[in-house]
């Protein structure tokens, strides 16, 4: 099993290099001269040309990417911000806690609400509860996160004045962003739990458990949920990965200084190294979350576990 | 209600509500099972055998399946009048069931040991060690080394899985065992082994059994009594000897004729013409009449009533209602 | 000749069956009706919208909904209802064309990978893994930044960012059909690979693709609106729901109607597409229905 995961981590390296290449290429064709950005509008043409030469900006594309990749793999160095002149890694680490906090609380919310509601919905299939839940879930999936965020601010900050409309340091301030960002995940996990439970609950082994005279609660929670968990874990993992890198809009609405906002600001300011490093960081975290999900599979499903041996 | 029979089913009627209409799965079903007896419940796919079993166990898929009418007396008490809590004490402990497909009847994420222990824990409480010992013993009873108790179902073959299911079903020494085609999903060689095991265990444990099957060979092997089921009801009931000597109902006769005879030279199988009835649209009268070679006008008008044709042998067919037909 | 006709009839009856099942699903029909209405709105926007989407009326700024301005006016006195009507054009265009782009490219990649297998498949799917490792919205942001903000670039960005999903889906479907006997028969009859893929394999894996594409349009509209919302997508004064929301955001305290209506328009559109997608899934594959 250890060997399997060691191999998986090794396989991440080409993926990361691929991501680095794509982003490098995109930034290469993005208009804007880095030397000009660093030196500012007042700098002379001469000094800009000199800096271009120093930075190797005149080298062919593949030479430049080769140097970047070499630095990335050998020195784990992703360069310095054009704007703040701080190492990109430091920039990312400054904003990452806020994103992690936001994504973490959203996914927690989604699991705590989505799984129980999904289970009840499945057990009471076609009941009023089920129908209402499914309708809300569909609305949740269809709700643009930035609009929901604005509505929440409008209601809870502007009209009622209960909760702050920005910030992330206090628990109170986290509630609205977590709900806005988590709403879609709640809906997705609820739907997934329901359909997964419905599929499992028709299985023979569930009837077998009932035929033993087992308590219905135990049948549902021990036998059915144990088997229904795998697709739920998959979806939850995907959602969490997505939240880590995709909280761009939520962060922008609630003015949370996270990775997403850093990315957008950097793109607008043409701060290429930060964009490059940020995307790499998000891709790595996303891949690691996926790996973690695979580890969890082995824990819940003995069939998968024995494949890894 | 005399406790002459362990199980007595009267006029059981079970319907399913589906998108395509009401499915009349079981319709006016009557049956008795005596103490220590093994009864073969024989019929084609869709005849309502499994539904009958689920009806007895009250495991019908909800909310589609419903017992519409009838009584099921088990040791003199009507199971249909029992609460869920009362039923839970009977299920597993007094009536246990073996399912058709061993590949799907074990929970894939629990060890086989734990699945046997679950049953014992529910009905025969004891210390952890006692329960574990009992579970180990049950594994060995069905011919599986006790050391394999910590393995998961996917590590067992189909035949071994069915043995585990049998171990679970018998672990609390039930009075009635309902086996739903326990060998159908297995390879032929394994079928014989499992059948032999069941035969031995039913004697060892002195368990009554309902053996659901479509295979008259299985019936010959293991059963004392036979009930032939068609279109949701029993059409003929007899001791094995009586039935194999002289089947009465045209459907039963057809079933026997469709067994290939190895001794005589035969080019084609004798099959019963026509298809099993559509359960959403049962034929009127005797549901077999559209396929019956001896059809009479009355057959499509009224359901035939019970005709006693011998000791412990009766049939539902107009052919034998007229005097002198015997 | 007869068999060809029969085949055609059979095909027809399958879709007729799907339609019959879909028609029974009230929610899905509701979704379909809304989508058709949206299309009509987009096509006949010039007749439906009472005002031009860019005519400013500085005397009538920030009007709350009234008889003259059903959804009120914005910070330049432009009629919000008219802007939403015209916005439906952009959203539908971006949504459907973006999905078209990802479907054609992703579908081809998936079909080739699934059909040929081996090293080519490995190479293509590893490339898809790379794209998958970047969250869609980040990838779309990077592409749009590189190409510059315009409607066409927005479609390309959103389209490219969802390629891997379609590639994976089509590959899985193709692999499940590749080994079936009728493909073997077509091969034996001397059909070219291209013909086999296009004529025999793809029509047989349409069900999951149609469902994914329907829901994909919803996702594409959301992503595009999101990009416009943070100022990287469609630029003012073009009426786009996302950028309208972004514009209204600064005035949310005093004039919430500016954010309310574009948001409702967006949600109704997405909801309708999701309803239809769910309905199609149930109708195309009744086995999956619980």
Picking from A23, A138, A144, the nearest residue to C263 by CB comes out as: A144
Per-residue pLDDT at C278 exceeds 60:
yes
- Report the chain C residue with the minimal C-alpha distance to residue A159: C253
Inter-chain CB proximity B154 and A303 less than 8 Å: yes
pLDDT confidence of residue C159: 93
> Which residues in chain B are contacts of A226 at CB distance < 8 A?
107, 109-110
The shortest C-alpha distance from C44 to chain A (Å) reads: 25
Query: How far, in Å, CA of C110 to CA of C172, rounded?
Result: 8
pLDDT in tens, chain A (309 residues): 778 778 888 888 888 899 999 998 988 888 878 887 777 777 788 888 888 887 777 888 888 888 888 888 888 888 888 888 889 899 999 999 989 989 999 999 999 999 999 999 998 888 899 999 999 999 998 988 888 988 898 888 888 888 888 777 788 888 899 999 999 899 999 999 998 998 888 888 999 999 998 888 889 988 999 888 888 988 888 888 888 876 888 888 888 888 988 988 888 888 888 998 999 999 999 888 888 888 888 888 888 777 765
Q: CA–CA separation, A28 vs C146, rounded Å?
A: 8
Q: Which domain holds residue C250?
A: 41-288
Give the ipTM of the model, two decimals please: 0.85
Of A168 and C128, the structure prediction assigns the larger pLDDT to: C128
Cβ of A227 and B118 within 8 Å?
Answer: no
Please give the Cα distance from C148 to B64 (Å, whole number).
Answer: 58
Between these two residues, A52 and C8, which has the higher pLDDT value?
Answer: A52
Sheet architecture: strand order including B77-78: B21-34, B5-18, B65-74, B77-78
The C-alpha atoms of residue B235 and residue A284 are separated, in whole angstroms, by: 69
Average confidence score pLDDT of chain C: 83
Buried b (16+ CB within 10 A) or exposed e, A5-18: eeeeeeebeebbbb
Q: Name the B residues in 136-195 with CB < 8 Å from any A CB.
A: 152, 154-155, 165, 168
**Whole-structure pTM value:** 0.84
Are residues A302 and B123, on separate chains, in Cβ contact within 8 Å? no
β-strands B233-239, B306-310: how paired? unpaired
Residue C57 has pLDDT above 80, yes or no: no
Chain centroid to Cα A234, Å, comes to: 13
Give chain C's domain count. Answer: 1
- The DSSP output letter for B281 is S
> Can you say how many angstroms the Cα of residue A162 is from the centroid of all Cα atoms in its chain?
28
Taking CA atoms, what residue in A is nearest to B60? A207
Q: Does domain A89-308 have CATH number 1.10.3720.10?
A: yes
**Residue C112: inside a domain, yes or no?**
yes
For residue C193, the distance in angstroms to the closest alpha carbon of chain A comes to: 30
> What's the confidence (pLDDT) of residue B265?
65
Query: For C243-267, what is each residue's pLDDT tens digit?
Result: 888 888 888 788 888 888 888 999 9
Does residue A196 sit at the B interface (CB-CB below 8 Å)? no
Taking CB atoms and an 8 Å cutoff, what residues of chain B touch A204? Answer: 99-101, 104-105
Question: Inter-chain contact C135–A246, Cβ cutoff 8 Å?
Answer: yes
Instruction: Give the pLDDT confidence score for residue B168 in this predicted structure.
Output: 92
Strand partners, B66: B15
The three-point CA angle C267-C214-C87 to 5° equals 45
Pick the residue from chain C with its C-alpha nearest to A125: C290
Q: Is residue C18 part of a domain?
A: no
Q: Would C26 be classed as within a structural domain?
A: no
Tell me whether residue C2 is in a domain.
no
Segment holding A282, helix H or strand E: helix A272-300
The pLDDT of residue B164 is: 92
What is the reported pLDDT for C1? 41
pLDDT of residue A71: 83
H or E element that contains B2: none
List, for chain B, all residue ranges whose pLDDT scores fall below the cut of 50: 1-2, 324-326
For chain A, give every domain's residue range.
Answer: 2-74, 89-308
Residue C214: inside a domain: yes
Q: The domain that contains C255 carries what CATH number?
A: 1.10.3720.10
In a domain, C222, yes or no: yes
- pLDDT value for A85: 84
Mutation test of the interface with chain A: which of B56, B109, B149, choosing the one with the most A Cβ atoms within 10 A? B109
Q: Are C275 and C14 in contact (CB under 8 A)?
A: no
pLDDT higher than 60, residue C177: yes
Tokens of A32: 């804007």
Percent of chain C clearing pLDDT 90 (strictly above): 21
């Amino acid at each position: 099993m250890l060997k399997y995961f060691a191999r998986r981590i090794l396989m991440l390296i080409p993926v990361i290099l691929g991501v680095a290449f794509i982003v490098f290429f995109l930034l290469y064709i993005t208009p804007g001269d880095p030397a000009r950005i660093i030196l500012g509008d007042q700098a002379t043409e001469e000094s800009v040309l000199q800096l271009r030469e120093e930075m190797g900006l005149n080298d062919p594309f593949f030479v430049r990417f080769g140097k970047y990749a070499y630095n990335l793999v050998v020195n784990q160095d992703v360069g310095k911000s054009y704007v703040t002149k701080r190492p990109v890694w430091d920039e990312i680490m400054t904003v990452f806690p806020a994103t992690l906090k936001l994504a973490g609380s959203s996914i927690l919310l989604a699991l705590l609400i989505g799984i129980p509601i999904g289970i009840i919905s499945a057990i009471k299939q076609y009941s009023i509860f089920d129908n209402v839940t499914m309708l809300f879930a569909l609305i949740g999936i269809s709700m643009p996160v930035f609009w929901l965020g604005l509505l929440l601010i409008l209601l809870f900050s502007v009209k009622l004045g209960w909760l702050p409309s920005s910030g992330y340091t206090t628990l109170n301030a986290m509630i609205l962003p977590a709900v806005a960002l988590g709403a879609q995940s709640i809906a997705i996990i609820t739907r997934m739990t329901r359909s997964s439970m419905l599929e499992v609950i028709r299985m023979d082994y569930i009837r077998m458990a009932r035929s033993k005279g087992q308590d219905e609660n135990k049948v549902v929670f021990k036998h059915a949920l144990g088997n229904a968990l795998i697709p739920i874990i998959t979806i939850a993992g995907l959602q969490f990965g997505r939240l880590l890198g995709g909280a761009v809009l939520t962060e922008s609405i609630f003015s949370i200084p996270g990775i997403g906002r850093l990315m957008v600001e950097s793109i607008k300011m043409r701060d290429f190294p930060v964009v490059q490093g940020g995307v790499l960081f998000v891709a790595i975290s996303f891949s690691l979350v996926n790996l973690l999900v695979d580890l969890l599979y082995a824990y819940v499903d003995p069939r998968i576990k024995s494949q890894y041996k | 209600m005399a406790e002459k029979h362990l199980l007595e089913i009267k006029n059981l009627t079970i319907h399913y509500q589906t998108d395509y209409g009401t499915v009349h799965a079981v319709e006016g079903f009557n049956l008795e099972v005596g103490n220590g007896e093994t009864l073969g419940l024989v019929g084609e796919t869709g005849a309502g055998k499994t539904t009958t079993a689920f009806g007895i166990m009250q495991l019908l898929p909800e909310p589609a399946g419903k017992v519409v009418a009838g009584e099921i007396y088990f040791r003199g008490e009507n199971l249909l009048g029992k609460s869920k809590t009362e039923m839970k004490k009977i299920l597993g402990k007094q009536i246990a069931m073996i399912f058709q497909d061993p590949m799907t009847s074990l929970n894939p994420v629990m060890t086989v040991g734990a699945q046997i222990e679950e049953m014992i824990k529910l009905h025969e409480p004891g210390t952890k060690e006692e329960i574990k010992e009992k579970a180990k013993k049950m594994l060995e009873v069905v011919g599986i080394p006790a050391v394999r108790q910590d393995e998961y179902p996917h590590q067992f073959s189909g035949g071994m899985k069915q043995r585990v299911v049998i171990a679970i079903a018998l672990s609390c020494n039930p009075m009635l065992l309902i086996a739903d085609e326990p060998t159908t999903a297995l390879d032929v060689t394994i079928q014989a082994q499992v059948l032999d095991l069941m035969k031995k265990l039913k004697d060892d444990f002195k368990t009554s059994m309902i053996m659901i099957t479509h295979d008259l060979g299985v019936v010959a092997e293991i059963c004392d009594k036979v009930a032939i089921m068609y279109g949701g009801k029993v059409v003929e009931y007899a001791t094995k000897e009586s039935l194999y000597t002289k089947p009465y109902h045209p459907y039963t006769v057809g079933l026997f004729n469709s067994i290939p005879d190895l001794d005589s030279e035969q080019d084609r199988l004798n099959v019963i013409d026509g298809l099993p009835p559509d359960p959403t649209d049962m034929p009127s009268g005797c549901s077999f009449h559209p396929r019956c070679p001896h059809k009479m006008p009355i057959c499509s008008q009224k359901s035939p009533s019970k005709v006693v044709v011998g000791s412990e042998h009766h049939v539902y067919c107009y052919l034998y209602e007229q005097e002198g037909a015997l | 000749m007869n068999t060809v006709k029969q085949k055609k009839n059979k095909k027809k009856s399958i879709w007729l069956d799907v339609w019959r099942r879909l028609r029974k699903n009230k929610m899905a029909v509701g979704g379909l009706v809304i989508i058709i209405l949206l299309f009509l709105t987009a096509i006949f926007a010039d007749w439906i919208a009472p005002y031009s989407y860019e005519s400013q009326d500085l005397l009538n700024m920030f009007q709350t909904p009234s008889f003259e301005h059903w959804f009120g006016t914005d910070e330049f006195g432009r009629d919000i209802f008219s802007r939403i009507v015209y916005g439906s054009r952009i959203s539908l265009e971006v949504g459907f064309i973006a999905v078209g782009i990802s479907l054609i490219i992703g579908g081809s990649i998936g079909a080739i990978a699934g059909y040929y297998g081996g090293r080519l498949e490995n190479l293509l799917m590893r490339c898809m893994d790379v794209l998958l490792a970047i969250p869609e919205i980040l990838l779309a942001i990077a592409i749009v930044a590189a190409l510059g903000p315009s409607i066409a670039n927005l479609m390309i960005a959103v389209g490219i960012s969802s390629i891997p999903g379609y590639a994976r889906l089509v590959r899985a479907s193709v692999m499940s059909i590749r080994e079936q006997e009728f493909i073997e028969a077509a091969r034996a009859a001397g059909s070219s690979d291209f013909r086999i893929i296009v004529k025999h394999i793809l029509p047989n894996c349409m069900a999951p693709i149609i469902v994914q594409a329907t829901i994909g349009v919803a996702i594409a509209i959301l992503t595009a609106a999101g990009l416009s919302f943070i100022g990287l997508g469609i630029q003012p004064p073009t009426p786009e729901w996302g950028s309208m929301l972004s514009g209204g955001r600064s005035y949310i305290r005093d004039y919430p109607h500016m954010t309310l209506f574009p948001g409702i328009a967006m949600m109704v559109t997405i909801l309708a597409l999701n309803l239809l997608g769910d309905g199609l899934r149930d109708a195309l594959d009744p086995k999956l229905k619980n």
